[in-house]
Amino acid sequence: MPEGPSIVIAKEEMTVFICKKVVEATGNAKIDMERIKGKVLTDVKSWGKHLLLCFDEFTIRIHFLLFGSYLVNETKSAVIRLGLAFNNGHINFYAASVKILEGSIDSHYDWSADVMSDQWSASKTIKKLSMNKEELVCDVLLDQDIFSGVGNIIKNEVLFRVSVHPNSLIDKIPPKKLKEITEQARNYSFDFLKWKKQYQLKKQWLVHTKKECTQCGKSLNKEYTGKKKRRSFFCTTCQKLYV
DNA sequence: AGTCATGTTGACGA
DNA sequence: CTCGTCAACATGAC
């Protein structure tokens, strides 16, 4: 479920409930269910991996972490974290992090950081990169304040696309290359969205979980890289290391 | 059947 | 105070 494009799909599935009143709010989430009951869902938004259910004076923030899931107009035999019933259907969330954000949603998020947002800004992203020169590119791509919505799959695929080694230091990557990384983080995210909708995301992976390089045929490296120690798949021949 | 993973937070100690 | 490390959460794919 987790990466940004998947949250966009979730958001799209839930727009049918906009302007509808919550008839019943249930589940074991540690939030005030009574406060939600009777309120009208005013909008459904997303910021990176956050799914945002907006009401007049507050927003329910859903984060699926690694194992979270949701069902629209369906139910499965699992503990419901949050269940919202409307007159035209219902949503169930499972194993997700649920939090209430007070007041205007704009006060909580920098929309220009979200790679899926129409307010996304390449120039602001590059500015943030210039403030993180001592970091490795594999860490920076996973930094949600810089590339909100990018997850480990997108990280690996983007680095392969632009031929950059995950252990490259931001300071040593040429500006033109940094721009390419930034633009591809967004481009790949939209490809991810398209492929996921066609149920052929995995089929499109060029490095993630792969054994051999799809470009040169040599065997790929699998390492847990950077401060974040997330697994990276890369080709030492095709992906240049900037240090 | 056991291992691992599209993720994040908070506790703890150095 | 800041940094790094680790546990915790919880589910499905292989």
User: pLDDT by residue (tens digit) across A51-62?
Assistant: 999 999 999 999
CA of A130 to C1' of C5 (A): 28
Tokens 């699992």 correspond to A78
A64 CB contact with strand C at below 7 Å:
no
**pLDDT over 80 at A222, yes or no:** yes
Spatial distance between the Cα atoms of A220 and A198, rounded to a whole number of angstroms: 27
User: How much is the pLDDT for A1?
Assistant: 73
Q: Give the model confidence (pLDDT) of A123-145 as tens digits.
A: 999 999 999 999 999 999 999 99
A72 CB contact with strand C at below 7 Å:
no
- What average pLDDT is seen over chain A? 95
Nearest to A126 by CA among A176, A160, A166: A176
Phi-psi region of A199 (alpha: psi -120 to 50; beta: other; left: phi over 0): left
Nucleotides in chain B near protein beta carbons (<7 Å):
5-8
Spatial distance between the Cα atoms of A198 and A179, rounded to a whole number of angstroms: 29
CA distance from start to end of chain A = 34
Spatial distance between the Cα atoms of A164 and A207, rounded to a whole number of angstroms: 12
**Mean of the pLDDT values across residues A82-108?**
95
Q: Give the model confidence (pLDDT) of A161-171 as tens digits.
A: 999 999 999 99
Please report which confidence band the pLDDT of residue A158 belongs to, taking 50, 70 and 90 as the band edges: very high
Q: Give the model confidence (pLDDT) of A178-198 as tens digits.
A: 999 999 999 999 999 999 999
Spatial distance between the Cα atoms of A36 and A5, rounded to a whole number of angstroms: 27
